[in-house]
Amino acid sequence: MDLRADSLTVAPALLGWTLTSQQGGEVVGGRIVEVEAYHGETDPASHAARGRTPRTAPMYAEGGVIYVYLSYGLHTCLNLVTGPAGEAQAVLVRALEPTIGLEAMTARRHLDGRPRLDSRLLTSGPGRVGQALGLTIADSGSRLGDVVSLTPPDTPLSPQLIHSGPRIGITRAADRPWRFWIAGNPFVTPPRV
DNA sequence: GAACCGATTGCCT
DNA sequence: GGCAATCGGTTCG
């Protein structure tokens, strides 16, 4: 996986890869099942659309670092920065199928003690992913392999399982089909109604 | 410097 | 379905 490639190429290619975090000595993570591509300063929905700021500075690095931002003052969301330096392209990780460190993620999500825990509450949704992985905005700009790592799938994902459609929750450029997910996977975020 | 808004989630009715 | 929580960035006065 060459993260220096275009985010529109990298985003669907990340589906099926395993994403782990080794924050605080706790290894947790899962299989990437849903992502969204953001395409630099020319993408009106991107945080980079208004240029470089202290917050968005990590997006301008060469692909291979992470960009973590605070959403609605509450939730940390994880992006993998892609593309050449200066392009400010990124891929938002919207959902994982949890596979590693379920207990630690359950604790981080404050879901301990639930009789019948729906595992989709762990990592289905960008804010949930950030919390389950133990990320804070202090981690923004760190290199891949530092707090967050990627591992390829054992067997490649069948291309026909990759579906795409409009990105979620944005008000600008809402028509661009830059959200990618694994068709039929239960951990993909359900449509908001 | 104040008001408003957002790549969200969880709890309420 | 509605709405509060909560804060950094952007916009407006």
Does strand C come within 7 Å of the CB of A70?
yes
Taking C1' of C6 and every protein CA, the nearest residue is: A73
Residue, of A160 and A113, whose pLDDT is higher? A160
Positions on chain B within 7 A of a protein C-beta: 5-10
A42 CA from C10 C1′ (Å): 18
pTM of the model: 0.95
| Distance CA A188 to C1' C3 in A | 25
B7 C1' to A2 CA distance, Å: 23
pLDDT at res. A115 = 77
Q: Looking at residue A41, what is its pLDDT?
A: 92
Distance, Å, A168 CA → B8 C1': 11
Chain C bases under 7 Å from protein CB?
A: 1, 5-11
Whole-number distance in Å between A141 CA and B10 C1': 29
A131-143: average pLDDT = 95
In this prediction, residue A113 carries a pLDDT of 80
Looking at every residue in chain A, the average pLDDT score rounds to 94
CA atoms within 13 A on the CB side of A56: 17
A69-111: pLDDT as tens digits = 999 999 999 999 999 999 999 999 999 999 999 999 999 999 9
Say if strands A66-71 and A75-82 run parallel, antiparallel, or are unpaired.
antiparallel
Which one-letter DSSP state was computed for residue A77?
Answer: E
**Whether the Cβ atoms of residue A81 and residue A65 lie closer than 8 Å to each other:** yes
Segment A37-45 mean pLDDT: 94
Statement: the CB of A191 is under 7 Å from strand C: no
Q: Quick check: A54 CB within 7 A of strand C?
A: yes
Q: How far is CA A68 from the centre of its chain?
A: 9
Q: How many CA atoms lie within 13 A of A186 on its CB side?
A: 6
Over residues A21-37, the pLDDT tens digits come to: 999 899 999 999 999 99
- Percent of chain A exceeding pLDDT 70 equals 99
